[in-house]
Amino acid sequence: MIPFSILDLCPVPQGSTPADAFRNSLDLAQHAEQWGYRRYWLAEHHSMPGIASAATSVVIGHVAAGTKTIRIGSGGIMLPNHSPLVIAEQFGTLASLFPDRIDLGLGRAPGTDPLTTRALRRSRMETVDDFPNDVQELLHFFAPANPGQKVRAVPGAGLTVPIWLLGSSLFSASLAARLGLPFAFASHFAPAELAPALSLYRNEFQPSDRLEKPYAMCGITVIAADTDREARREFTSLQQSFINLRRGMPGQIPPPIDDIDAFCPPAERAGVDYALSCSVVGDANTVDSGLRAFIETFRPDELMIVANLYSHAARLRSFEIVAEIRDQCCPR
């Protein structure tokens, strides 16, 4: 069966706090473990009031400590914001604390706005253009240390930490293929180049000591509820969040509304609808049909499910429904 995994942004609903978000994320991860999801990834974002996972490695440790078997990782660490040595040490530490359970997904975007990017990087000269070299340096730090090696990751050197490249364009697809690494495409918010990126990755893949054949994961937003109407209403929280972000007004996750068309003009709605076109919203039957169609079209090796909702109870129910239909809809 195609594995299903979860991408969590540690959403902070209006009227709540990051502490609430962390408790909710741990609760969801514990349920996900019971429901048979393979991975639980957290994403690095900065200066966004509705996302609490900025210190991604710390939150990964929190979730890993509260679970037992599910893989916990980053979806992803925005590598240009960090030195490769620091990330090797952080994930070497996590892998030492939680053996065979830690994934390291890497992105090359900053995960924030330009002003915050400058605050993150301070006097560092690196840019996204240095991403391929940074990835190579990070891989070096996870390799067994050579005798006399002056700079090494402790812990980190010699540890097996699966490294994924994440992307929403052809760039990371090509780099993942060249380095022989698994690849995750962010189709849940940037669907434009999904098909060509998967084709490029699969056609150009070069086997490595980390991966023998291409392995592609696709992100997809899935909002499931007991009725189509309820699911569409819950989905309006995500739609509002996207619209607010595009307006330059990121905030906490808003509560659902009855009429999204009253919230924004048609042109604005069209742009958000396109960004969220890799979404399946509805009851179990609707979600079953939507997932079957997506899998038939793109043939992913794994799905990364996203559901950034206002209500924690609704989020739990959504992932529960997806787990219930998973085995019926996703044979290889």
What are the tens digits of pLDDT across the range 212-224? Answer: 999 999 999 999 9
Q: What percent of the chain has pLDDT over 90?
A: 88
Query: What pLDDT is recorded for position 329?
Result: 63
Contact between residue 223 and residue 309 where contact means Cβ atoms under 8 Å apart: yes
Mean of all residue pLDDT scores within the chain: 94
pLDDT digits (tens, 9 = 90+) for 285-317: 999 999 999 999 999 999 999 999 999 999 999
* Position 332 confidence tier, pLDDT thresholds 50, 70, 90: very low
Burial (CB < 10 A; 0-12, 13-18, 19+), residue 5, is buried
CA–CA separation, 48 and 236 (whole Å): 19
* Position 125 confidence tier, pLDDT thresholds 50, 70, 90: low
pLDDT digits (tens, 9 = 90+) for 1-38: 799 999 999 999 999 999 999 999 999 999 999 999 99
Q: What percent of the chain has pLDDT over 70?
A: 97
CA angle 324/329/332 to nearest 5° reads 125
Single-letter amino acid, residue 89: E
CA–CA separation, 257 and 234 (whole Å): 8
Query: What pLDDT is recorded for position 121?
Result: 72
